[in-house]
Each structure stands twice: as structure tokens, then as C-alpha cells.
Chains A and B, each alone.
Chain A
Amino acid sequence: MTDATATYTGPHGPKPKRRLSPTNIMLYGTLFVVAVYYLLPLYVMIVTSLKGMPEIRLGNVFAPPVEVTFEPWVKAWAEACTGINCDGLSRGFWNSVQILVPSVILSIAVASVNGYALANWKFKGSEVFFTILIFGAFIPYQVMIYPIVILLREAGEGISAVTGTNFRLMGSIWGLVIVHTIFGMPILTLLFRNYFTSVPEELFKAARVDGAGFWGIYFRIMLPMSLPIFVVAIILQVTGIWNDFLFGVIYTKPDTYPMTVQLNNIVNSVQGVKEYNVNMAATLLTGLVPLVIYFVSGKLFVRGIAAGAVKG
């Protein structure tokens, strides 16, 4: 045996690595240049927000701050003005939180039950409604926005009349919660339907033989085994709702405006001197929540956004 192998000459062992081949230089060079383009705005935001106004007027956007100051951040958070209110972005932040929490909970609760019903309890017509829902996701929001204003106003007045209170859906946080639940429904329902369809059908059958009903199977069997998909849905909804601008501007009033709307009003307000460092601090603050979620969740975020693209 040793004789036989000895007769073969030439290279042996692992293939030597050629780190600096022209292809590799091209490959990493391209990726590096592109990465700079993608990172540039984040860098610019950070350095600008840490400079004082005099330094901004002198230097260029790309230069790191000579003198680091956190003044713009404080100002953006607590003092920046929109119209007559001068309590900064903090108001928008808390509005966004108040909108976000019930919207995420409600939209995911509704969509997960929908997806579960569609996957395991098909009834006559259920697929038709689902198809309408999916195609509805492609209808421009502008088409439905105005009738929904009317529906919210009427429903709010109806509730007020019945309960004898001064409850309003239109212009309040609750109206916006309903709107987010409605427009989050297609993608989330698709997400949950696909997930529950992938759960072995026999598990569902076994639970039925064991006497569990619609809600029993949902809460006792399906929920405990679908935590990952719920996390994906939460990431999807938190970033989506936090970043919303259109619904916020239409369905809420100035004192309940979410953070994005307030940010736009602060930065694009025509009065006064432009304070670019405050603007960038405010912009960064608004982007912080989804950015943190993105960097912390990593693969799950990718799974979430890819779930919308992968049909099934």
C-alpha cells in the first residue's frame, strides 16, 4: 500500500490558500466600497448630532466632532419645538409607545387566530376571504384611507352613544390601533397560516381525539410550540408600526402624533434657524428603536421580512 501511494507525485495535502488572488481583491474591494455607502448616513447622523452648530457651519459633514457635545440630544429629546409645543421628541416617543404596545398585541392576537383557523379549521369560504386579504395587501392605502376615516368616526360616535361617554376612535390612539391591526393582518395572517400549516396535521388530530376544541388546541398545543414565529411577528410589527408615518398623520391629532410624524414636523418646520445637530439627534433617536431591534434580533428579523416575500 505504501508503495502504491509513493508512486504518485505532485501536490498533496490541503489546497494552499491564495488570499490575495485578483478575484478576491475585486470581491472584497467591491463589498467594502458598498459597505461604506451603506454605513455613511449612519456615521454622518452620529457625528453631526455630537457637534455644536458653530463647528457644523465651519467644517464638513464627514469630519468627526472636534468637541463632543450631547447638548443636541438633550435639546432634541426635551426642548425641540413643533408648532407651539416645545417639549421635544419625548412626547412623540411616549405616544409611539402607547400606540405600539396595544397595536402589536392586538394585531398579532387577531392574525395568529386567523392563521390557525385557516390552517386547521378550514370552512366553506375561508380560502376566499384569505385570498381577498392577500390581494388587499397590494391595494394602495390611499384608496381605503378616507372611508376608514368615516368608519372610525361613525363607530366612535356609536360607542359614545351606547356608553354615554365622549369616546372617540378617529383622532385617538385606539383608532390608530385598529388601523394597524387591519393593515398588519394580511402579512401576519400569511405568516401564521404558513407556520401552522407546517405543524404536523396528526398533532392536531390527536388533540381532537383527546377532546380539545378550537381554543383548547390553540392555547394548549399550538401557542406553546410557536414561540419563534411569535417573536418574528413581534419584530415585524414593532419595526413596522414604529416606522409608520402615513397612518399616524391621518388618524391621530397633534397631541397624539407618533414619533415619526413629530420628527418630520420638527426637522421640516420652516420657522427659526435650522439646527442641524438637533435635527440629526432627533432623527437618530427616532431610528434607535428599530435599529436596536434589528441588531439584537439578527436572524429573526431577516426571517420576518423574508416571510413576507416567500409565498406558500
Chain B
Amino acid sequence: MALTSEKLAEPVAAPALAEDTPSVAIRNLDLAFGSVKVLQNLNLDIRQGEFLVLLGSSGCGKSTLLNCIAGLLDVTGGQIFINERNVTWAEPSERGIGMVFQSYALYPQMSVRGNLSFGLKNQRLPKAEIEERVNRAAGILQIENLLDRKPAALSGGQRQRVAIGRALVRDVDVFLFDEPLSNLDAKLRSELRVEIKRLHQKLSNTMVYVTHDQIEALTLADRIAIMRGGVIQQLDAPQTIYNKPANLYVAGFIGSPSMSFLDAETVESGGTTALQVGARTVPLDGYEGEGPLAPGRKVVFGVRPEHIVVTDAADPAAHVTATVDLDEPMGSDSLLWLDMDGHKLSVRIASDANYAPGSTVGLSFDLSKSSIFDTQSELRL
């Protein structure tokens, strides 16, 4: 208890002195609905101009966190700073944020122009300035020709553009996106994804983006925060999260099809530590771990489908052998499901490769891209 609180107290003091001040800083945030604690002692620094994605399955607290930043939920404890300013109890409109919602949340009785200017009118800006900002935002988003339409007359993609425009006209530093693409069909979703990314490059605002879609997270984010049970599991660049997941949960959550996990044990082999997987010993050459591995530990060995090479069963370079279970063609490539001493494994193979079910093949792992987790703590080793 004492240790963790010291650890957490440290970064609180640090950012105030650093010249690179965070755009959004969250300190010891608690949020509870009655007795249900949704967020507990959460700390997070979001850098200036950063595209941060909050990723997690439903109920992990990612949207709750976003709503706290926006000021739409009253926090139970802790503080929120936006550009150094303590906004913990400020009204949403006074926080310098714009927000885009999953259901677009356009005001149905107002035209697109009315939707874009509603917030500005509430700020009592001069008419000319409202006009100018609306036109600029409409220009950026290419919705000039829609300005006089009602939301009901727009397609899903157009509606979401207007919703983004509504955040844009506010001229704020921080954009909050709450699953903005989830209501769109797959094709539109990928189109708008590219557009949001382009928008970020152009405006270089800070963007906080909530999604449950890992493809969105991986393609858009500068950094991803993976959440589970109201706790940030890992906060890192997409590549780091993909290649060096901090724990078993992150490893299993990111990547589709997901990582294969094998129960293993670290053993002494020829002066270095190796991995005992079933009856085979796999040398740990090239493994990029968090620290030296001691032998004699129960671990979980995780490897992604694309980091396994299928070879002939008799190949001396093969780490292990496995039995072919079935072959799932996926168009660009195929997924081969294998059985190794009762463990299920999936391997991505070329679509023209052909392996008969029941045959035995050899497998070699790319250890530089693999992960080893402690069985107990589930942390990456």
C-alpha cells in the first residue's frame, strides 16, 4: 500500500516542472456509482498533440474515463487538468474540449448550420465570427453543400462528419471521441478512420479516442491505453503493445486471430536459460525480455500466428512438432489450426500452402517477437 502510493505520488509532482506539460493530466481519479467502483486511483498524462486511444472491451471504464474528462460525469475523487488548468469541477463547456459521440447526437430540429453554431451562440460570439468558423469547419470536412439540411436528410457518414464539425468549430485544444465510428458500416468506418487520421495530422490537436475496435486503435493511435476493470493495463505505442504486451490480458486482447499460449517452464540448458515446452526445449535466442530469466519458473509462452514458421516435421531447425487440425482460408492467407500435446495453436500461412488434417508438421518460433509471461502474476518477463 505504502509502496504504490509513493510510486503514484511521484509523477504528480514531476509534470509541473517539465517543460513538456501534458495536455490532459489525470490524477488519482476515482469514480463510483454507489458502491460500484468504476475507476480507481487512475493516473494518466496525455501529451500535447497526441492521439491517444482508450481501448478495452465493454464495461472496462474507457467511456466513463472520457466522460469524466469531458465533465459529463462528476468524479468521486481525484483531479483532472487540461492544459495546466484544474477543471475537475468545471462545466463541460468551460473545459476547452470538443466531443464527438457514437450516435452523432445531432440536434434533430436544427439544420447542419444550426448544429455547428449552437455552441458558439451559447458562447455569445459575434455573428461574423460564428459564420467564419462554421464555414471553415465545413470546408475542412467538405460538408459545405449540406449546411442547410436537417440531420434526418443526411447519411450516417455525413452525420458523423457534422458531429466532428461541431467539435471543430469550438476551436479547442482537446478533442474527445466516444466510439465515433461504431454506428457506421465497415466500408464507411475505414473511410472515416483515414479521414480522422488526416484531420489529426492537419490540426495537431490532442485527441482522446475511445474504441473497442483494435484495428481502429492500432491504425490511429500515437499511444494506446488498454483498460480493464477501470485500470490501465498498458500505455504504449501501438507497435510496443503489439510486440511486447505488458501482461497476458493485453497479449490476448490485441491481435486477431489472437496469440497462442503454451504452458512452459524455464530450464537450464547449456549455460543459458531455455524454455521447456512439452517435451521439447526451445532456446531463448533473440528473446527481448524485461530482464534476465531465471530457470525453474512456470511461465506461459505466447506467440502470434504470424510469428510461427511451419516446416517439415523432420526439419532439425524446428522447435516443436504439432498435428494439423484444420485449415481456414481467409483470402489473402490461411489460418492453420494445430494441436500440440493438447494445446491449440494457430499459424498464419500462405493461402496456397496445403496441409492435410492429421499430418504432423514442424514449427519454429520467432523468439524476438514472442512473449513470456509469469504464470502467477501474468506479467511479461
Chain A positions near chain B (C-beta within 8 angstroms): 200, 202-203, 205-212, 216, 220-221, 224-225
Given contacts A216-B122, A220-B118, contact A208 B91 (CB under 8 A): yes
Tell which of A200, A208, A211 touches B103, judged by Cβ atoms closer than 8 Å.
A200
Given contacts A224-B109, A225-B108, A225-B109, contact A206 B101 (CB under 8 A): yes
CB within 8 Å of A: which B318-345 residues: none
- Point out the residues of chain B lying under 8 angstroms from A207, CB to CB: 107, 118
- Point out the residues of chain A lying under 8 angstroms from B122, CB to CB: 210-212, 216
- Is the beta-carbon distance between A202 and B119 smaller than 8 angstroms? no
- Is the beta-carbon distance between A209 and B123 smaller than 8 angstroms? no
| CB of B273 to closest CB in A, whole Å | 53
User: A207-B107, A210-B166, A224-B109 given. 14 additional CB < 8 A pairs?
Assistant: A202-B102, A203-B103, A203-B107, A205-B70, A205-B92, A205-B105, A211-B91, A211-B92, A211-B94, A211-B123, A212-B93, A212-B118, A212-B122, A220-B107
- Is the beta-carbon distance between B107 and A209 smaller than 8 angstroms? no
A299 to B106, CA, bound (A): 29
- Is the beta-carbon distance between A209 and B99 smaller than 8 angstroms? yes
- Is the beta-carbon distance between A209 and B109 smaller than 8 angstroms? no
- Point out the residues of chain A lying under 8 angstroms from B178, CB to CB: 202
- Point out the residues of chain A lying under 8 angstroms from B72, CB to CB: 205, 208-209
A29 to B104, CA, bound (A): 53
A-B CB contact pairs (8 Å), 21 listed: A203-B106, A203-B107, A205-B105, A206-B105, A206-B106, A206-B107, A206-B163, A207-B107, A208-B71, A208-B92, A209-B97, A209-B119, A210-B118, A210-B119, A210-B166, A211-B91, A211-B119, A211-B122, A216-B122, A224-B109, A225-B109
| CB of A256 to closest CB in B, whole Å | 40
A216 to B121, CA, bound (A): 11
Specify the chain B residue showing the minimal Cβ separation from A227.
B109
Let me know if B305 is at the binding interface, CB within 8 A: no
| CB of A135 to closest CB in B, whole Å | 23
A205 to B103, CA, bound (A): 11
A225 to B106, CA, bound (A): 12
Chain B positions near chain A (C-beta within 8 angstroms): 67, 70-72, 91-94, 97-99, 101-109, 118-119, 122-123, 163, 166, 178
Closest 7 CB pairs of A and B: A211-B93, A210-B119, A211-B122, A202-B105, A206-B105, A202-B101, A224-B109
- Is the beta-carbon distance between B99 and A206 smaller than 8 angstroms? yes
- Is the beta-carbon distance between A202 and B103 smaller than 8 angstroms? yes
- Point out the residues of chain B lying under 8 angstroms from A224, CB to CB: 109
A200 to B166, CA, bound (A): 17
- Point out the residues of chain A lying under 8 angstroms from B67, CB to CB: 205
A208 to B92, CA, bound (A): 6
| CB of A212 to closest CB in B, whole Å | 6
- Is the beta-carbon distance between B102 and A209 smaller than 8 angstroms? no
Q: Most chain-B Cβ atoms within 10 A of its Cβ — which of A210, A216, A224? A: A210
A200 to B107, CA, bound (A): 11
A200 to B98, CA, bound (A): 18
- Point out the residues of chain B lying under 8 angstroms from A220, CB to CB: 107, 118
A206 to B94, CA, bound (A): 13
- Point out the residues of chain A lying under 8 angstroms from B97, CB to CB: 209
- Point out the residues of chain B lying under 8 angstroms from A221, CB to CB: 107
- Point out the residues of chain A lying under 8 angstroms from B166, CB to CB: 206, 210
A208 to B118, CA, bound (A): 11
- Point out the residues of chain A lying under 8 angstroms from B123, CB to CB: 211
- Point out the residues of chain A lying under 8 angstroms from B163, CB to CB: 206
Specify the chain B residue showing the minimal Cβ separation from A210.
B119
- Point out the residues of chain A lying under 8 angstroms from B91, CB to CB: 208, 211
Specify the chain B residue showing the minimal Cβ separation from A205.
B72
A202 to B109, CA, bound (A): 15
| CB of A225 to closest CB in B, whole Å | 6
